[in-house]
Structure 1
C-alpha cells in the first residue's frame, strides 16, 4: 500500500473480481458464476432481481457523504465514521476520500477487516481485553495508527500483563461513561483514576478522552438533549483536568464523541477544546466525531433525530430501501410479505410501506394508510384498508427502513441503483464483511 493512501485502493478495487453465486442472496440466479465487473457490464436493473431485496440509492449516498464532510470542514473537526454501520470497505473509501481521518470500529474481527483493506487510521471504540487482540494491535504496521479506549485500572493491568515481554506502546484514550450508560468510567474522578493508572504503565500512552453520548438519550426533546449536553460538559472537564495535570503523552490529543444523532451538540460543547498547542504551550488538540449511519440515513429513527432533520436545513437523504413481494392475502386488510427479520431491520422501528406495484422495477403507486404491524423471521404483516387499496399475491411493495446498522448485516452483496426514484439501473454492488 502506498503510505499516502488512507485505504488501499487496489484492495478495494479487487472486490470487482469477486465471483457472484448462490451465497449472495441478493444476486439473481442468472448471474451465478459471473464476476462483479461482468455482472455490471450487462447493465442489470432492479427488475432483474428477486425479493426480498435491499437496495441503495447512489445520489443519496453521494449527497450524504458530501454533506457531512463539508460540515466537518466548516466546523474544524475530524471525522472517523463508525465503519460497523456498513462494514463495507467501498463505502469507507468514499468517506476517507472525502477527508475522513480514519475509520472507527467496534471489535477485533472488524479491525482485521480494516487491516485487510489497508485502512491506515483506525479507532476501536471499545477496550482491548482479549489478549489475542491486544497482541495483534501491538504488532500493527508502523505506517498505521490504532487508537483504543480504556475505562478501568483493571484493563490497564490486563494490557500491561499481556505485553510485559514486549516493548510495544499502545495509544489509548480514557473513556468517560455515566450512570446508566454503556461502557466508560462512571465519573470524572473515576476517569482521572484510570488516567493515573495509565501514567504508571509501561505499555500505554494516554492520547485523549473518549465517550459515547448516544447511550444516554434516545430522543431530541429537552430532557434528552439536556442529558447529552451535561455528559459532554463532563467530558470537557475531564480533558481540562488531564491537560492541566500534564497527563497526556507526547504528540497530538484527541477528544472524540458523536454518533449520528447528536454530533451538533458534541461540536457545540467540545469545540472550545480544539487547539494548535501554540495558545497553551501544550499539545495540539483535535475534536473527532464518529457518525456512521449518516451516509445511509433512513426513513425512521435517524430521519427523526438527525441534527440536520431537526434543523430542517438540507437534511440527509434516505439511501436504502427494502423490496418485498406479497405471498399471501389471507383476509381482508391483511397481506403477508416475503421479507422479515432475516432481511430487513426492525429494532429501531418497523419497515414503512411506501409504494406498491405489480412488478419489481415497474410502475408503482403510493401505498397510503398501510403499515407493517409485526415481522417474523421471513414474513412481514402488512395491514391496509381494503376499501381503498387492492393488494394481490405477487404485488411488490417498496419499504422505507429504519436503522442502517441492522440492515447491512443481513446482506453480503447490496445493489446500488442509479436513482431509486428514477433510473433503476444497478450501477454498483456493495460487498459487506460482518
Structure 2
C-alpha cells in the first residue's frame, strides 16, 4: 500500500487504522508526537527568551504544520519566494516576512494588489539591500500606486555571504533613502548568521557575533534618527544558532522597544544530522529538547558481498546535501509492525554512498542481512525530505498511520 493511500485510509471512519508496517517501501514517515512536541518546545523557548518566532515555512510548506505553529503562538511566518508568500497569504497567515529582495515585476504587482490594500488580512514585510533594488521597487510601486507603503527590512550581509549590504555606512545611507520615500517605509533590520564560515566546533560561527553587533548598531542608528515608524523589527536566526541571536539581539540588549524575531524552520522536525549537532535544543550541542520526527523505512534489496548491503532508497528519497542518512534499526519484514521485537543491533552499520534509488551500506564482516529486512533511517536537513515527498504519512506512538502531511512546494 502506498503512503498516500494508507494515509487516506487512516482518515476514513469506515476503515481500520493502517499500520506503518503495511506501507509500500521506501516510505518517509513523520512521527506525530515529535512534531507536536517540537512545536511546543520551540514556542516555550522563545517565550522564555523574550523573542518572537516567525517559523520559516519553506521547510515544510504544509498547511497543517502552519496551523500547529500558529496555535502555539507564531508571530508570523517566513517565506523564501513570492510563490510561498502567495500560498501563506492564501492560508490566512496574519503576517509574512519575505526573507529575500522582491525584484520581479509580476511579484511586485501581486504584493501591491493583494497585500498593500486597505483591507488586506496579511501583513507583508519585504527585504531591501541595495540602491538598485530600491530603485526597481520604487519605479514599480509608483506605476502601481498601491494603497499603502511597502514595509521593508534592511538586510545586512557579510563578505562571501548571500544578499545583504556589506558596508555599514552604505546600509545607513540606504535606510535614509527608504525612510524618505513615499511608497516604502523602513520597518527594521534583518540578517542571517547561519551561512558564516564554521570551524570544527559545533558552536556558532566565529563571525556571527560581529554580524549581530552590526545589526544592533544599525538598529540604534536608524531609531536614533527617527527613520523607523513604530517599533522596529529585528530579525535573524535559523535553526542552528538561535540562542546566540536571542542573546545578542534579545530584550536584554536594548534600551528601547524592539521586536526581535527568529526565523527558524527546521526545528519543527529536527533531524539526526546537522541540527542534532548544531541546534541549541539538539542532543549534541544543547539540551536535547527537540526530537527527530522524520524516519525513512526502506528494504534491503541484496547483500551481494560480505560486509556490503544494498538498500532500496537513494538521493531521490532522502536529502544528501548535508550528510547521508544514519541507520536507526533493522527489522525482519514480518516483525516490522507495532509491538514487534526490538530492532537488531545495527552498531557499525553505515550508509556510505547513494545512487538515485540505491544505497550502499557497510556492515560488520560476517553480519547476515536478509533481503526484505526493513531498515529504519534518520535523515539530515529536513527541507530536502519535504522536497521529495508529496504525501508523508503521520504515525502515532503505536506505529499507526493517523494522517498525512502534504507539502505545497
What is the TM-score of this pair, normalised by structure 2? 0.92
1:17 paired residue number: none
2:241 paired residue number: 262
Find 2:177's aligned residue among 197, 207, 218: 197
1:378 paired residue number: 357
What whole-Å deviation, never above 9, does each CA across 1:29-79 have from its counterpart, x for those lacking one?
xx59x6773289531110120111111112211111111101111121110
The alignment status of 1:105 with 2:79, answered yes or no, reads yes
Q: SS in structure 2 opposite 1:154?
A: helix
Find 1:149's aligned residue among 110, 122, 127: 127
Find 1:428's aligned residue among 391, 403, 407: 403
Whether contact under 8 Å (2:396, 2:402) holds in the other structure is yes
The alignment status of 1:26 with 2:3, answered yes or no, reads yes
1:14 paired residue number: none
> CA distance change for structure 1 residues 153 and 39 in 2, over 3 Å: closer, same or farther?
farther
Q: SS in structure 2 opposite 1:229?
A: helix
2:158 paired residue number: 178
Q: SS in structure 1 opposite 2:143?
A: coil
After TM superposition, give the deviation of residue 233 of structure 1 in Å.
0.7
The alignment status of 1:288 with 2:266, answered yes or no, reads no
> CA distance change for structure 1 residues 251 and 166 in 2, over 3 Å: closer, same or farther?
farther
Find 1:408's aligned residue among 358, 383, 386: 386
Using the alignment, how far apart are the partners of 1:170 and 1:58 within structure 2?
Answer: 38
Whether contact under 8 Å (1:354, 1:366) holds in the other structure is no
What whole-Å deviation, never above 9, does each CA across 1:377-409 have from its counterpart, x for those lacking one?
11111111132x211211110001111011111
The alignment status of 1:305 with 2:278, answered yes or no, reads yes
What whole-Å deviation, never above 9, does each CA across 1:338-358 have from its counterpart, x for those lacking one?
111111111111000121111
> CA distance change for structure 1 residues 114 and 182 in 2, over 3 Å: closer, same or farther?
same
Using the alignment, how far apart are the partners of 2:179 and 2:190 within structure 1?
Answer: 17
> CA distance change for structure 1 residues 135 and 274 in 2, over 3 Å: closer, same or farther?
farther
Q: SS in structure 2 opposite 1:214?
A: coil
Whether contact under 8 Å (1:273, 1:287) holds in the other structure is no
> CA distance change for structure 1 residues 39 and 234 in 2, over 3 Å: closer, same or farther?
farther
Any residues of structure 2 matched to 1:28-67 within 5 Å, and which? 28=5, 37-38=11-12, 41-67=15-41
2:47 paired residue number: 73
RMSD (Å), alpha carbons: 2.1
Count of residue pairs brought into register by the alignment: 397
Using the alignment, how far apart are the partners of 1:338 and 1:190 within structure 2?
Answer: 53
> CA distance change for structure 1 residues 159 and 319 in 2, over 3 Å: closer, same or farther?
same
Structure 2 residues not aligned, in runs of 5+: none
Whether contact under 8 Å (2:296, 2:376) holds in the other structure is yes
After TM superposition, give the deviation of residue 94 of structure 1 in Å.
0.7
Structure 1 residues not aligned, in runs of 5+: 1-21
What is the TM-score of this pair, normalised by structure 1? 0.87
> CA distance change for structure 1 residues 274 and 173 in 2, over 3 Å: closer, same or farther?
farther
Whether contact under 8 Å (1:80, 1:101) holds in the other structure is yes
Using the alignment, how far apart are the partners of 1:315 and 1:180 within structure 2?
Answer: 33
> CA distance change for structure 1 residues 413 and 223 in 2, over 3 Å: closer, same or farther?
closer
What whole-Å deviation, never above 9, does each CA across 1:260-297 have from its counterpart, x for those lacking one?
1010000111114777xxx75xxx42000011111100
Whether contact under 8 Å (1:40, 1:426) holds in the other structure is no
Q: SS in structure 1 opposite 2:403?
A: strand
Find 1:236's aligned residue among 180, 192, 216: 216
Using the alignment, how far apart are the partners of 1:222 and 1:195 within structure 2?
Answer: 34
Any residues of structure 2 matched to 1:272-351 within 5 Å, and which? 272=251, 284-309=257-282, 312-351=286-325
